[in-house]
Each structure stands twice: as structure tokens, then as C-alpha cells.
Amino acid sequence: MVAFTDLDRFKAVNDGAVHGYGDHVLKAVATAISRQLRVGDVLARQGGDEWVLASATLDRAAYERIDALRRRLADGVSVGGQNIYATDSFGVAFLPERWHQRG
């Protein structure tokens, strides 16, 4: 599974805050996502407010994991003692099962 995520309306948060605040928000979000990873998962920052998550998880549980990540971000992240509630958009791709069975 490969998932791409982008924080919704991050530009407005970044532009409306003091210098450097957006960086703190990004770090808090990355930490929140990282804490949800499993052994073997890879999280990479694509750029700006975008991340890519690669996982060997190939079953339906992957959908549940993405939903759990979305709920975790919606619960808020703490930045300077203030809770920030983020929403994000995910795109997920799976390699079809039949490709895994080839020798």
C-alpha cells in the first residue's frame, strides 16, 4: 500500500500565523503520524504539507489504518500548548493481490 496525504487548508494556517508556526504544526503532525506506524512502514515528507506512507500491509486492515490516522489528526496536535485540529486528504493505492503471487 502507498498512501499520499496532504493537510487541508494548511496554507491559510501558515500564512495567518507568526513566522515558524507552520513548521511547528508540520512537526507535530509528522510526530502524530509516526506514532501510528508499524514496523516496516516508511513515512517520507513529499514537500510542504504532504507525506507519503509506504507499507507492506496489503489487506483491508490498511483502510482501517488510514481511517485511524485521519481520526488521530482530527483529535488535534499540540503546538505551543495550543491544540490544532487538522483535517487531511488521503489517496491510497494497492498493488493487486495477483501480482504478489507471481514467482
What is the per-residue pLDDT across 32-74, written as a single tens digit (0 to 9) for each? 888 888 888 888 988 888 989 888 766 667 778 788 888 888 8
Counted domains in the chain: 1
State the chain's mean pLDDT as an integer: 80
The domain that holds 64 is classified in CATH as: 3.30.70.270
What is the per-residue pLDDT for 66?
A: 81
Length of the chain: 103
Q: Could you give the CA distance from residue 39 to residue 47 in angstroms, rounded to a whole number?
A: 24
Residues 19-37, mean pLDDT to the nearest whole number: 84
Phi, psi of 75 (to 5 degrees): -70, -15
- This prediction has a pTM of 0.74
**pLDDT at position 98:** 58
* Closest to 15 (Cα-Cα) out of 29, 25, 6, 5: 25
β-pairing verdict for 77-79 and 42-47: unpaired
Can you give the residue range of the structural domain that contains 90? 2-100
Q: Which of 76, 81, 73, 94 is nearest to 1 (CA)?
A: 94
pLDDT for 101: 56
- What count of Cα atoms within 13 Å lies in the side-chain half-sphere of residue 12? 5
